[in-house]
Amino acid sequence: MRALLDEASGIVQQLLDVMDQETECLGNRNSDPLQELSQRKVVLIAELEQLEQRRRERVAAAGCDAETTDGMQAYLDQADDEDLTAQWNDFVVSLAALRARNEVNGTIIHRSIEGVQRDLALLNGYAPGTANVYDRQGRQKPPTGRRISSA
Cα separation, 144 vs 134, whole angstroms:
11
Each residue's pLDDT, cut to its tens digit, for the chain (151 residues) gives: 999 999 999 999 999 999 999 999 888 888 888 889 999 999 999 999 999 999 999 999 999 999 999 999 999 999 999 999 999 999 999 999 999 998 988 888 777 777 767 767 777 776 655 555 566 777 766 655 555 555 5
pLDDT attached to residue 45 = 96
Q: What is the pLDDT of residue 32?
A: 84
pLDDT at 109: 78
Q: For position 110, what pLDDT does the model report?
A: 76
Q: What is the pLDDT of residue 66?
A: 92
CA–CA dist 118, 128 (Å, integer): 6
Distance from C-alpha of 145 to C-alpha of 128, rounded to nearest angstrom = 9
Domain ranges within the chain, ordered by starting residue: 2-97
Distance CA 66, CA 54 (A): 10
